[in-house]
Amino acid sequence: MEDNHIQSVFDRDLERIQALIMKMGGLVEMSILDAVKSLATRDEELAAQVRENDRKIDALEEEINEEAARIIALRAPTASDLRTVLTVMKISANLERVGDYAKNMAKRTSVLVQMSPIEGSAKSIRRMGQEVESMLKEALDSYFQRDAGLAQEVRQRDVEVDQMYNALFREFLTHMMEDPRNITACMHLHFIAKNIERMGDHVTSICEQVIYLVTGEMPEDSRVKEDRTAFVSMERDG
């Protein structure tokens, strides 16, 4: 009887932490869409809102980590339950990174609105951002539904994001070669596209954690990266 009580208390704790993940995921999805929209519409106010929302995302990650640590310390979860708690922590860390990349995009948007627009770039970046947001939504669905098959499908879609990034990279090179005055704007746009490509990598990581949670094993196949550019990748830039 006592074991049942302990399990029910753990289940309530887990429900709370998963509600926080759901809230955090929703904020991150919104940040991606708002970041690409602010670029497409040259909306500095919306870009500022994305930067402000990142604080809420960071606060949620901290709350999730504190709650997870409390559960581990007080509940001494079994191996399978511990795996669930650790998965939640890893998912929240990936969500926090995606939120950082959205914030970085918004920072560059505030600079880009002062420059002449590069034809077609904002639309292409918005399409790429919407694809990553859709992947993130399905990755989180795969977690809540414990659906390893869906997680694997989303994981494979990151190849499309890499291909979009490669196409944009070539576009920016063309614009820079055609007119040197485009170089500064294209460099900012390149790093925005790279931020989105990195978001896709973190969504892939979430999918791999879901597969591990459900099956007990990480995916055996290494996902092929399609980033063919020669640029040095950038991590956080503030």
pLDDT tens-digit series, residues 153-199: 999 999 999 999 999 999 999 999 999 999 999 999 999 999 999 99
Domain positions in the chain: 2-215
Q: Is the pLDDT of residue 11 over 90?
A: no
Higher pLDDT, 97 or 218: 97
Residue-level pLDDT at 3: 56
Orientation of helix 2-41 relative to helix 183-215, angle to 10°:
160
Residue-level pLDDT at 226: 62
- Give the architecture (CATH level 2) of 2-215: Up-down Bundle (1.20)
Contact 196, 125 (CB under 8 A): yes
Contacts of 17 (CB under 8 A, 6+ apart): 64, 67, 68, 71, 85, 88
What DSSP character marks residue 19?
A: H
DSSP line for 162-195 = HHHHHHHHHHHHHHHHH-GGGHHHHHHHHHHHHH
Contact 207, 153 (CB under 8 A): no
Name the 3-class secondary structure at 65. Answer: helix
Residue-level pLDDT at 80: 83
Q: Is the pLDDT of residue 142 over 70?
A: yes
The pLDDT tens digits of the residues spanning 97-113 come to 999 999 999 999 999 99
For 206-225, letters b (16+ CB in 10 Å) and e give: bbbbbbbbbeeeebeeebee
Reported confidence tier of residue 76, pLDDT bands at 50, 70, 90: confident
Q: Which helix (H) or strand (E) holds 220?
A: none
Contacts of 173 (CB under 8 A, 6+ apart): 186
First to last CA, the chain: 52
Q: Is the pLDDT of residue 237 over 60?
A: no
Residue-level pLDDT at 77: 82
Residue-level pLDDT at 57: 98
**Nearest of 199, 197, 208 to residue 99 by alpha carbon:** 199
Q: Is the pLDDT of residue 39 over 90?
A: yes
Query: Exposed (0-12), middle (13-18) or buried (19+): which is 193, by Cβ within 10 Å?
Result: buried
Residue-level pLDDT at 224: 55
For 89-101, letters b (16+ CB in 10 Å) and e give: bbbbbbbbbbbbb
Residue-level pLDDT at 6: 57
- With vertex at residue 101, the alpha carbon angle to CA 206 and CA 155, rounded to the nearest 5 degrees, is 25
Rounded to an integer, the average pLDDT of 13-26 is 94
